[in-house]
Amino acid sequence: MNFERQSSYERAELLACGHGQMFGEGNAHLPLPPMLMFDRITHISDKGGAYGKGEVIAELDIVGRGGRDTVARWVQGKYALPGR
């Protein structure tokens, strides 16, 4: 298994991590749906963040009534909805 560090991950890659295919069996896993709380990681770095230890920016797709979709972004410990 060859893991290549990336600066972003799509949903299929997050699911692969949840199934143990990213880091290998017995290593770190993300939770699988329905416990997976985001659909993609748009930015991940070992630099930056509130304490200089790194940061992750993730997005969650929210399907609203009437078919309107919203993307909520997870930034520094809280969701940020568009227009708020």
The pTM (predicted TM-score) of the whole model is 0.76
If you average pLDDT over every residue of the chain, what do you get? 83
Tokens of 6: 């990336």
pLDDT score, position 76? 65
Judge whether 23 and 1 are in contact, CB under 8 Å.
Answer: yes
The model's confidence at residue 84, banded by pLDDT at 50, 70 and 90, is: low
pLDDT score, position 83? 58
Beta bridge partners of 74: 58, 79
Tokens of 4: 């290549």
pLDDT score, position 17? 93
- Checking if the pLDDT of 19 tops 80, the result is yes
pLDDT score, position 73? 74
